[in-house]
Amino acid sequence: SYELKVPYSSPRELLMDVLHYGADAEIIEPASLREQARSLLWAAVHEFKQHGDRALARFNDLNGNFVRDDLYVFVLDMDTQVIRAHGGMPRLINRPAGELIDANGKPFIRDLIKAARASDEGRVEYAWRNPLTQKMERKQTWFVRVGQQVIAVGAYAGPLN
């Protein structure tokens, strides 16, 4: 185990630098930054538990509280493998996604569903197009299973190697 101290000018910049090192990298300080990547996810989980399917419209609202720069919520039905909400790519809403593969040919939706069936919350990694840069980038996505729905938020971790 190594500890790396990185100077930064904004928490978002530090988060992207840490995520660049992959799934095993962990933010130790500042403590508030450790939760920044997942705060949007937990807000979405709360919204969904409070409002059910009515929350989906809020997740899809590009000008709402659940789309923040390149962070956005998406919701996947585990049984049908249909994307029910997607704040980053609205054209994916109500489409079957089980056969989607990333830029490296990884069936990441199937991997996400498999991980969600195994654990109520977790993280997966894959390559996906960043809606701000329009470039394929590495992405880490945290998820929480609520019933048969997988609520997820991912953070872009830089260019593909």
Contacts of 29 by beta carbon, 8 Å cutoff, 6+ apart = none
**pLDDT higher for 52 or 14?**
52
User: How high is the pLDDT of residue 21?
Assistant: 52
Please provide the distance, in angstroms rounded to a whole number, between the alpha carbons at the two ends of the chain: 23
Task: Tell me the mean pLDDT in the region 91-109.
Answer: 93
Contacts of 139 by beta carbon, 8 Å cutoff, 6+ apart = 125, 126, 127, 128, 130, 154, 155, 156, 157
Question: Residue 29 above 50 pLDDT?
Answer: no
- Position 150 confidence tier, pLDDT thresholds 50, 70, 90: very high
Cβ proximity of 95 and 129 under 8 Å: no
Mean of pLDDT over the chain: 83
- Position 110 confidence tier, pLDDT thresholds 50, 70, 90: very high
